[in-house]
Amino acid sequence: MILNELKSHFRSPETPGSIFLSFEGIEGSGKTTQIKEIEKYVMERGYRTLTLREPGGTVFGEKLREAILESTEPLHPLAECHLFLASRAQLLKEKILPFLLVPKSVVILDRYIDSTLAYQGKARKLGYETILDLHKFNPLNLLPHRTYFLDISLETSMERQAARGSKKDYFESEKHEFYLHLIDGYREVATLFPERILKINANVKPDDLSANILKDLEQFL
Ligand code: TYD
């Protein structure tokens, strides 16, 4: 019930002709590849696109990104959470809201509020209510029209992370248990927002995954 009350504070953009999308999933879920495909597809259909990643996307946000991902000491979950929210509020003000006013535009976000729900709400144990409560106010209460949650298993994530082989950042060095909480968290969050979040099996080949996403996206174009 508390969740329903909190959900009532949220809204989707009411800017006819523009679309707000986000991609979510744990490390190795293939967000970057899929975002590139979607960008290409909507541009061919005459849309202007703006793709952004969180945290970051503004000068201030990139400083916060570094502060979090390169932190050498464990941050308090609330400190972590507020840094992500500060980056998000600035990104909304500087980039997302102005671009949504452009006719025939698509804003694509690589991570957004559902990352905070899964990572800080579930895995860092702050709770979904706390995270939603912190997003109650304008502009943080703006939700995408559609969120694609690319759902992969722990095994697929570990294999893909090992294949990349790059240096592990703050979250990538977490243990398996943390990732299991994240997977559970994302699946729970998808059930909290069933109209907005589409959970897609992403343990498949990238082409099959894009075909599924594009089939769904058609209704928004
Ligand atoms: P990034 O390198 O962008 O991750 P990826 O390539 O997997 O998308 O790093 C962002 C990290 O920050 C990622 O591990 C998820 C985490 N994160 C949160 O914990 N909470 C948030 O609200 C956001 C936006 C990201």
Q: What is the DSSP string of the chain?
A: -HHHHHHTT-B----TTEEEEEEE-STTS-HHHHHHHHHHHHHHTT-EEEEEESS-SSHHHHHHHHHHHT-SSPPPHHHHHHHHHHHHHHHIIIIIHHHHTSTTEEEEEES-HHHIIIIIIIIT---HHHHHHHT-STTTTB--SEEEEEE--HHHHHHHHHHH-PPP-TTTTS-HHHHHHHHHHHHHHHHHSTTTEEEEE-SS-HHHHHHHHHHHHGGG-
Q: What is the pLDDT of residue 12?
A: 93
Instruction: Return the ligand 1 atom nearest residue 110 CA.
Output: 8
CA 173 to chain centre: 20
> For residue 95, is it within any domain?
yes
Q: Is the CB of 148 under 6 A from ligand 1?
A: no
Instruction: Return the ligand 1 atom nearest residue 111 CA.
Output: 24
Considering only CA atoms, which residue is closest to atom 25 of ligand 1? 115
Q: Is the CB of 25 under 6 A from ligand 1?
A: no
Q: What is the pLDDT of residue 168?
A: 78
| Ligand 1 centroid distance, CA of 178 (Å) | 14
> For residue 32, is it within any domain?
yes
Q: Is the CB of 23 under 6 A from ligand 1?
A: no
Instruction: Return the ligand 1 atom nearest residue 87 CA.
Output: 24
- Residue 117 backbone dihedrals phi, psi, to 5 degrees: -65, -45
Q: Is the CB of 55 under 6 A from ligand 1?
A: yes
> For residue 26, is it within any domain?
yes
Question: Token pair of 87, please?
Answer: 């980056």
| Ligand 1 centroid distance, CA of 188 (Å) | 18
Give the total number of structural domains in the chain: 1
Question: Token pair of 218, please?
Answer: 């058609």
Question: Token pair of 139, please?
Answer: 């502009």
- Length of the chain measured in residues: 221
The Cα–Cα gap between 109 and 91 comes to 10
> For residue 40, is it within any domain?
yes
> For residue 220, is it within any domain?
no
Q: What is the pLDDT of residue 1?
A: 64
> For residue 221, is it within any domain?
no
Question: Token pair of 151, please?
Answer: 């759902």
Q: What is the pLDDT of residue 2?
A: 84
Q: What are the pLDDT tens digits along the chain (221 aa)?
A: 688 899 999 999 988 889 999 999 999 999 999 999 999 999 999 999 999 999 999 999 999 999 999 999 999 999 999 999 999 999 999 999 999 999 999 999 999 999 999 999 999 999 999 999 999 999 999 999 999 999 999 999 999 988 888 777 888 878 889 999 999 999 999 999 999 999 999 999 999 999 999 999 999 99
Instruction: Return the ligand 1 atom nearest residue 85 CA.
Output: 22
CATH code: domain of residue 54:
3.40.50.300
Considering only CA atoms, which residue is closest to atom 19 of ligand 1? 119
Question: Token pair of 53, please?
Answer: 């990643």
> For residue 219, is it within any domain?
no
Domain that includes residue 14, residue range: 2-214
Q: What is the pLDDT of residue 169?
A: 80
